[in-house]
Homo-oligomer: A and B are copies of this chain.
Amino acid sequence: MTRFKERDLIALAESLAGSRETDPSVKIGIGDDCAVLQPESQKDLVVTTDCLAEGIHFDLSYFKPYELGSKSAAVNLSDIAAMGGMPKWALVAISSPPYASKYFLKEFLKGLIDQLAEAGAVLIGGDSVSSAGPFNITVTLVGEVGRDRYLTRSMARPGDLLFCSGYLGEASLGLRWLQKFGRKYRPGLKQTIKRLILRHLVPAPRLELGRALAASGLVRCAIDVSDGPATDVAHICAQSSVKAVIYERAVPISRASKRIAAFLGIDSLDAALRGGEDFELIWTARPEYMQQISKIAAKTCSKAFAIGRIEEGKGVWLEGNSGCLEEISFKGYEHDI
């Protein structure tokens, strides 16, 4: 295994990112003390950082390094999507263990840079260190959004409907499959399993939808599904000082999810509400905008499932098919720190 000096890695990142660095907003990219950027005037900046730790967020027994790079970008891109922003500039800090090979790091960087490029963003800097511990990857992403046109968790209002951009629970079921069987398929289930595990390995952030919702002026409140709606919607409720009611009958669960959940002996509703990492968007809007919102979603190849309503009160509640209410606030996936 070839070991890198930090400056070899920087040179590699520079050569991989270089061809993408034609963005005139990047005055200095990788390789100086700081990157230098020229933001557009009359825009706000949106900034996010996410840390992925080996053994907690990913397992290299089933993650290909290219996929890991791609996912490291995607989880941050999804945060920018939830604000209605345009991702622009990314930095990556890699803490890599003694067993990291040159091949691994190169593939990782390729995956990261390709996923960024697909979203219109470039890698402008980073840091790397060899550590005693497992892999630790921190990506920071800066984007732009029209002045005061951002979406936020704190703008849900009683009377709003609660929307979701796609099927819930697929990513966590994909993860459970990977943990149990790795990348091995079952006869007759290959496409179904593949769909679910790819939801975990290479999530697709809803960037176009986020921007279209923000630009429409019809939506002010959104979050992305990272810990599962039970927790993510609880953040909206806490920060908007409202109550959310999610209808059991309206929770979007795909046929693929139902099949694999049955196979694994897992409740697909539970996976949908508490599983996390689907990286769909959840947002609120006045009921009278429903039709317009459906059109916006369709234009960006998303759905606009109406999954619940916002009321005065506190917490996230699940309205069962029998009509009974159960509180599920913060019962999604939460890391200890």
CB distance from A118 to the nearest CB of B (A): 19
A132 to B131, Cβ gap below 8 A?
A: no
A6 to B125, Cβ gap below 8 A?
A: no
A4 to B337, Cβ gap below 8 A?
A: yes
A34 to B83, Cβ gap below 8 A?
A: yes
A147 vs B124: C-alpha distance when bound (angstroms): 18
| A127-B32 CB under 8 A given contacts A6-B337, A38-B147, A95-B136 | no
A216 vs B154: C-alpha distance when bound (angstroms): 44
A50 to B154, Cβ gap below 8 A?
A: no
CB distance from A152 to the nearest CB of B (A): 6
B132 to A49, Cβ gap below 8 A?
A: no
Contacts of A80 in B (CB 8 A): 33-34
CB distance from A242 to the nearest CB of B (A): 16
A95 to B51, Cβ gap below 8 A?
A: yes
Contacts of A128 in B (CB 8 A): 51, 335, 337
Contact with A33, one of B4, B82, B133 (Cβ below 8 angstroms): B82
CB distance from A131 to the nearest CB of B (A): 4
CB-CB contacts below 8 Å: A32-59 with B? 32-39, 41-42, 44-57
Contacts of A224 in B (CB 8 A): 33
A291 vs B91: C-alpha distance when bound (angstroms): 39
| A36-B136 CB under 8 A given contacts A336-B5, A337-B130 | no
> A69-113 vs B: 1/0 string, CB under 8 Å?
000000000011011010001011111100010000100000000
Contacts of A143 in B (CB 8 A): 34
B140 to A131, Cβ gap below 8 A?
A: no
Q: A17 at the A/B interface (Cβ < 8 Å)? A: no
B337 to A126, Cβ gap below 8 A?
A: no
Q: A27 at the A/B interface (Cβ < 8 Å)? A: yes
Q: A179 at the A/B interface (Cβ < 8 Å)? A: no
Contacts of A96 in B (CB 8 A): 337
Closest residue on chain B to residue A28 by CB atoms: B152
Q: A7 at the A/B interface (Cβ < 8 Å)? A: yes
CB distance from A284 to the nearest CB of B (A): 14
A129 vs B56: C-alpha distance when bound (angstroms): 8
Q: A153 at the A/B interface (Cβ < 8 Å)? A: yes
Contacts of A202 in B (CB 8 A): none
Q: A254 at the A/B interface (Cβ < 8 Å)? A: no
| A95-B37 CB under 8 A given contacts A32-B83, A130-B337, A336-B130 | no
**Residue of A33, A42, A143 with most chain B CB atoms under a 10 A cut-off:** A33
CB-CB contacts below 8 Å: A1-37 with B? 3-9, 27-28, 31-37
Q: A138 at the A/B interface (Cβ < 8 Å)? A: yes
Q: A158 at the A/B interface (Cβ < 8 Å)? A: no
Contacts of A89 in B (CB 8 A): 47
Contacts of A46 in B (CB 8 A): 34-37
